[in-house]
Amino acid sequence: MFVKDATGTHRDEYLFTTDVSRTADAVVGIYCGRWSIEATFQEARSCPGLETTRGWCRSTALRAAPCLFGLYTVVAAPFDTLPAAKRAGVVSWPGTTTVTFSDARSAVRRWLWDEAALPQAGDGTALQKLPEPIRELLLTTLAPAA
């Protein structure tokens, strides 16, 4: 079956199926239903580096992909729950309009340093005694590096 985009915004497609009992509308519906899955995999490859596994064998890729999806989840879930004020430390680059994975990772790290790791150092008041500019410099430096 041939699908032509009347608006001219998308390329024309040829769709094939081995199930001859399916109607043209059903085939197009199945194709469109897969779009969100395809977009998810495209984002997964571009965001946490899924396409950059260093292994050459199948078992390496099968081990790396779940770990990368897990890493993405471990970062994305806390970042999504952070209030806007705690999303500080996100680097704004010219031309970027959305938060990148590395921005989200840095914001989560900064939050962890600020609220979990550093308050437990010593008696917990050492960080509070630092002047605000020094504290901000410390957190901004630790977040992307750690």
Could you tell me the pLDDT band of residue 90, with boundaries at 50, 70 and 90?
low
Closest among 133, 136, 92 to 114, alpha carbons compared = 136
Q: What is the pLDDT of residues 8-31, one digit of tens each?
A: 887 888 888 888 898 888 888 888
Measured distance CA(130)–CA(51) in Å, rounded:
42
Alpha carbon separation from 71 to 12, 47, 68, 89, 104 (Å, rounded): 37, 11, 5, 20, 12
The answer to whether 140 touches 134, Cβ cutoff 8 Å, is: no
Domain ranges of the chain: 82-146
Residue-wise pLDDT tens digits, 50-88 = 555 566 677 776 777 777 778 888 888 888 888 877 776
Q: Which of 51, 48, 98 is nearest to 69 (CA)?
A: 48
